[in-house]
Amino acid sequence: MASATPTQAPETKPSFVEESLYEVHQKVHPRAVSGIFATWRWALVWLTQLIFYGMCWLPWNGRQAVLFDLVERKFYIFGLVFWPQDVIFLAILLIISAYSLFLFTAVGGRLWCGYACPQTVYTEIFTWIEQKIEGERNARIKLDAAPMSARKLWLRSAKYGAWILLAFWTGFTFVGYFTPIKTVWSSLWSFSLGPWETFWMLFYGAFTYLFAGHMREQVCKHMCPYARFQGVMFDPNTLTITYDTERGEPRGARKKGVEPQSIAKGDCVDCGICVQVCPTGIDIRKGLQYECIGCAACIDACDQVMVKMDYPKGLIRYSTEHAIEAHWGWKEIISHVVRLRVIIYSAILGAICVAFVWGIVTKPTLRVDVIRDRATLAREVEGGLTENVYRLHVINVSETPHRYAVSVSGLQGMDMVGDRIIEVPAAGARSFAVQVRAPSDSGKKGSNQIFFDVKSLADEKVAVHEKASFLQP
């Protein structure tokens, strides 16, 4: 009897699944959409761009209404003039912006990103130009896939040309806030534009063209830090764009008029239009994603489909995580949105805004800086007097010229040698030296406190009582 030879099992190699960590970029061609949120987006596009492109052309008291004059170190904002000493207002403004961002995000998610962010605004404008020249979404996709032809060359040239013109005008306007816009305009046509103006015009225009025309959603997904840390600013009671999974699933196509319950499906017809209109190319039905900029284009698109299918609107809507789970109405949603966190943010923001406005309203129109002459601290002059030398820097913050009377007090027998009446132009400054003399026996040895008084001859309320020190050897 022959013994059975044991059969050897074939060698099995471990299977490996290769997974790439790099996602190949696929160009997003957003579909045009209309609706209430699209109207709001375009309203803010018009508002922001009218302010940006138009404000630099507004005249005010013989000058540009808004001008950040870096050479003269003066910022003009309508009737206000800010000097480097007013940097506190810039700090407060940045704090207001930060707290506003915290508040808006806690209440409604990425409202700033979806409606007012420059990247979103200019992407919307550039996409509109693209749609007008190359056609709607399907036409643009076909044009991308088509080989180069005379028609494609013409359409691309027209599109890129329009983009370049808009980007160039944007850079020109940007420079016009730092150099008077009329000066930039005349210098541009006479080919005498300065090197810095030329650099910043081309730099700002080039990045506008690159970011809004070509990179688009890539800026929001990979470059914007706000997209990354927004998650820590959300909570289950934050209003976000939400897909109602319970109502929409299971999704599937069907004819108009078919009740979802009759075919054991949800309200979602799986048309994919919510994905097609998304400027970042995400599928909101997969849940909240960091790429979502909160533009609500998917809400407008889905509502239109629901109307056509005779289904209730709101399959995709602004809601909260808790509201979706508990089936809350708007009263319950609002009552939970207005929570302790929001109240604290609002209170702090309101207090800072009040302080900011109060500071602007009560901002002095006269500033005086007293600088001691370090080369000559104190010296004896004729008549048994001690002399200290100072340099006064008088800043007229108002937009009207003023004549000021200068005097000194603090020690018995003290007198001042130098200009007692000075004239400072509107939004100007003047520095001058004065010699202050006092008897050697007045005051104590060492440092003595004195005061410089600078008063406007036209308005007694415009006055400064500035402290200084007088040295007795």
For the residues 278-283, what does the mean pLDDT come to?
92
Sequence ranges of the domains in the chain = 235-327, 366-472
H or E element that contains 404 = strand 402-409
Longest dimension (CA), the chain: 143
From the list 105, 137, 127, 114, the residue with the least C-alpha distance to 43 is: 114
Give the model confidence (pLDDT) of 99-151 as tens digits. Answer: 898 888 889 888 889 999 999 999 999 999 999 999 999 999 999 999 999 99
Residue with tokens 């030329």: 198
426 and 398 in contact (C-beta within 8 Å)? yes
Rg (CA), the chain: 34
Query: Which letter does DSSP use for residue 69 in this model?
Result: E
Q: What does each C-alpha distance from 360 to 93, 102, 179 come to in angstroms?
A: 11, 24, 24
For the residues 443-464, what does the mean pLDDT come to?
89
Higher-pLDDT residue of 290, 58: 58
Angle at CA of residue 310, ends 304 and 316, nearest 5°? 45
Q: Which residues contact 428 (CB under 8 A, 6 or more apart)?
A: 395, 396, 401
Q: Which of 173-187, 407-421, 450-464 has the highest mean pLDDT?
A: 173-187
CA atoms within 13 A on the CB side of 336: 18
Beta pairing class for 385-396 and 415-417? unpaired
Token pair of 297, please? 């284009």
268 and 301 in contact (C-beta within 8 Å)? no
Token pair of 438, please? 């006092």
CA 92 – CA 187 distance, rounded (Å) = 36
337 and 320 in contact (C-beta within 8 Å)? yes
For the residues 374-388, what does the mean pLDDT come to?
83
11 Cα distance to chain centroid: 63
Under the banding of pLDDT at 50, 70 and 90, the label for residue 275 is very high
CATH code, 366-472 = 2.60.40.10
Q: Is 159 helix (H, G, I), strand (E, B) or coil?
A: helix
From the list 298, 300, 293, the residue with the least C-alpha distance to 276 is: 298
* pLDDT score recorded for residue 3: 47
Token pair of 168, please? 């160039």
Give the model confidence (pLDDT) of 51-103 as tens digits. Answer: 999 999 999 888 899 999 888 888 999 888 888 888 899 999 999 998 898 88
For the residues 226-246, what does the mean pLDDT come to?
84
From the list 196, 229, 227, 175, the residue with the least C-alpha distance to 64 is: 175
Alpha helices in 233-320 (DSSP H): 245-248, 273-276, 297-308
Token pair of 314, please? 């709101």
From the list 441, 394, 379, the residue with the least C-alpha distance to 414 is: 441
